[in-house]
Amino acid sequence: MSQGMGVMRYTCLCALLTERDHVIGVILANTGSPASPEPDDIERYLREFLMDDRIRQLPKPFWKYLVYRHILPKRKVASAARYRFIWTEEGSPLVVIQQQLAEKVQALFDAEGNEGDGRIVVRSAMSYGEPSLEGVLRDLRAAGADRLVLLPLYPQSAYSPTLAVVDAFWRAQEAVGWKPPSAVIDNYHDDPAYIAAIAGSIHNVGFDAAAGDKLVLSLHAIPLKDEAAGDTYRAQIAESARLIAEALDMASDGIVVSFQSVFGHDESKWTSPLTRDILKGWRDGDFRVVLACPGFAIDCLETLYDIPHIMVPALEGEGAAPVVEHVDGDIQAACNTRGRFAWAPTLNASDEHAALIKDVLVKAIRP
């Protein structure tokens, strides 16, 4: 596999991993989180994140100047308030919940009879921050792994962030000096277990298309320049939406697909429509809105902060009372008592999520 693109769908990986006498290290990877909600830690995290070649939006010299002189001084303070809202006693929700998910996936494989130090060893890692990919690679090498499978936890792949994770994986291998045979699972946007889990989450909050409920699938926006370069992210989203509609026994055109988390001031350069604009247009409606975020495998700033602070007020109107003061106050439950709004929860470390991740991995490891 070459560096750079270096990503193949799991259907191309089977021959690499069919020999049963190997110890396979599985890495569940995500973007990452600051070490704390304090401005200095946030600045360190954002500096690494924003200077990634997959993330930067301008030629490097200009982008570096903009990031260091303008973006970081303002954003580290604004982001600190947002991160404090979602932070828990255990730490970053993204890091904590993904670790719980990795442990559940490991337990599922163990229940099938892993022997010794484990034929399949599952770890959680982040592109930026801790647990680092370098640290996890050292851990897997010490555990006896001689094959690796990287699963970026983005059901629909995109140049950013999926390839940013893949690039970080290759860099970590170089830094550690360990390059066992490795495979990358590019996406799982149409995996039946994934579709069933998302549809189940939507069904469980009482979504009823026949009663007039509106269903919004809100996903992270990507730059339009990536689409122009061949990114198939939006096509994968469309297929996911079609399959979710089928699982919910509704017409696919009854689902509204929209985007959130645009970076910068020029929204016209990002995928649209924006979720907040859709919700604003429905303020005077008499129907219930169910919001799901099927592109986010684990709750993070974009769900735990943006849904109560951006999505709910967009529907209810500016000046709406705060949904909840802090993450400890069960944000989802608070959002779902607002009358017209219902949030279908992220899969997180649920049993259903662990099972579908195992299902995706098994298709790569045990054809």
Sign of CA dihedral 347, 350, 356, 361: positive
Sign of CA dihedral 205, 211, 213, 214: positive
Give every CB contact of residue 113 below 8 A, 6+ residues apart in sequence: none
Full pLDDT tens readout for the chain, 367 residues: 333 333 444 334 444 444 556 899 999 999 999 999 999 999 998 888 777 777 777 777 876 777 677 888 888 999 999 999 999 999 999 999 999 999 999 999 999 876 544 489 999 999 999 999 999 999 999 999 999 999 999 999 999 889 999 999 999 999 999 999 999 999 999 999 999 999 999 999 999 999 999 999 999 999 999 999 999 999 999 999 999 999 999 999 999 999 999 987 789 999 999 999 999 999 999 999 999 999 999 999 999 999 999 999 999 887 666 666 665 667 777 777 667 899 999 999 999 999 999 999 998 887 6
DSSP secondary structure letters along 63-88:
HHHHIIIIIHHHHHHHHHHHHHHH-B
Q: What is d(CA 165, CA 154) in angstroms, rounded to the nearest whole number?
A: 10
**What class does CATH assign to 192-344?**
alpha beta
Joined together, the tokens standing for residue 61 give 């010299």
Q: What is d(CA 235, CA 226) in angstroms, rounded to the nearest whole number?
A: 13
User: In the block, which residue shows the tokens 């404090």?
Assistant: 84
Q: Which helix (H) or strand (E) holds 203?
A: helix 192-204
Angstrom distances, CA of residue 130 to CA of 29, 41, 125: 11, 12, 7
Q: What is d(CA 255, CA 30) in angstroms, rounded to the nearest whole number?
A: 27
pLDDT of the residue at 160:
86
Q: What is d(CA 135, CA 271) in angstroms, rounded to the nearest whole number?
A: 35
pLDDT of the residue at 191:
97
Q: What is d(CA 303, CA 27) in angstroms, rounded to the nearest whole number?
A: 23
Q: What is d(CA 265, CA 288) in angstroms, rounded to the nearest whole number?
A: 31
pLDDT of the residue at 7:
41
Q: Give the domain ranges of the chain.
A: 39-86, 192-344
pLDDT of the residue at 266:
84
pTM: 0.90
pLDDT of the residue at 116:
42
